[in-house]
Amino acid sequence: MNNSMDRYAVFGNPIAHSKSPILHKAFAEETHQRLVYTSQCVDVSLFIDAANTFFANEGLGLNITVPFKTDAFNFANKLTSRAKRAGAVNTLFLDDNKNIIGDNTDGVGLVNDITENLLWSLKDKDILIVGAGGAVRGILEPFIGQHPKSITLVNRTVKKAVSLSQEFSDIFPIEACSFSGLGNKSFDIIINGTSASLTGDLPPLPSSVIHSDSNCYDMMYSKELTPFLKWAQQNGCKNTSDGLGMLVCQGAESFFIWRKIKPSTTELIKKLRKIL
């Protein structure tokens, strides 16, 4: 197949907001890879048809965004261990035997942004993760791989947090509690894994979770400081970041899976920040 025609795409609904085409165009230019990357709005009932058509027409890889990450999980012929743990797939690719493999790069994207761009260490740290939905599920295994001291999940519905913590109990003892159950404990790293920032809401965290050297990260991103990061700074947190770097780094990991070459992310994060 002509290398100049290597085809990749992102599937979602809606899709107009997706930054993936910008990311992969930049990655391709930086690494001198010749490829075409497009975005496709897929009818919510036609994911399997659209994915089959894409790969049948010599497409090589797909990124998957809302609402199709579970569909992609079920569609893949095989799953990586991190996709199995995440219960969701955001990257599809062909292996050497033309099997369609499902992977999840969200968690490793977050970890890479934190450890490589922000230079925060996760090793031996007490980590608090707010939320117990799909986004949090996707980051737990990569976080555990960084050998933290402890991980605590806090969620409005405690049952959901307990259930999620139990799914990972074979590899790491995750604590689960309610917001009131946090008591006066403070944490080194606090991750907001809820979508509260999208609606301007704030999880009901006690300010005591922040100590003088805490780092706070919101997996959502926006032009202005998110409500969670505003709250963090008001309560003395000096180091904060939103999830724009996570977006770029998960894309870079997908690109690496497809092209076997790792693009840099720092400058692209700065460029994207300017056009938000």
pLDDT number for residue 229: 97
Amino acid at 187: F
Tell me, yes or no, whether 121 and 163 share the same domain: yes
Instruction: Flag residues of the chain having pLDDT under 50.
Output: 1-3
Tell me, yes or no, whether 165 and 217 share the same domain: yes
pLDDT number for residue 198: 81
Q: Find the CATH number of the domain harbouring 89.
A: 3.40.50.10860
Tell me, yes or no, whether 127 and 221 share the same domain: yes
Please provide the DSSP assignment of 144-194 as one string.
HTT--SEEEEE-SSHHHHHHHHHHTTTT---EEE-SGGGTT--EEEEEE-S
Tell me, yes or no, whether 260 and 209 share the same domain: no
Q: Find the CATH number of the domain harbouring 144.
A: 3.40.50.720
Tell me, yes or no, whether 235 and 122 share the same domain: yes
pLDDT number for residue 1: 43
Among 19, 25, 69, 149, the active-site one is: 69
Tell me, yes or no, whether 59 and 173 share the same domain: no
Tell me, yes or no, whether 230 and 268 share the same domain: no
Give strand ranges (E) for the chain: 7-12, 36-41, 59-64, 78-79, 91-94, 100-103, 126-130, 150-154, 175-177, 187-192, 210-218, 239-241
Take residue 252 and report the two structure tokens written for it: 């870079």
pLDDT number for residue 4: 55
Q: What is the pLDDT of residues 90-130, one digit of tens each?
A: 999 999 999 999 999 999 999 999 999 999 999 999 999 99
Give the predicted TM-score (pTM) of the model.
0.94
pLDDT number for residue 2: 47
pLDDT number for residue 276: 86
In angstroms, rounded to a whole number, what is the distance separating the alpha carbons of residues 247 and 135? 12
pLDDT number for residue 5: 79
Tell me, yes or no, whether 115 and 229 share the same domain: yes
Tell me, yes or no, whether 13 and 38 share the same domain: yes
In the residue annotation, 69 being an active-site residue is answered as: yes
Tell me, yes or no, whether 46 and 25 share the same domain: yes
3-state secondary structure of 229: helix
Tell me, yes or no, whether 118 and 238 share the same domain: yes
Domain count, the chain: 2
Tell me, yes or no, whether 80 and 62 share the same domain: yes
3-state secondary structure of 239: strand
Domain that holds residue 257: 3-104+247-275
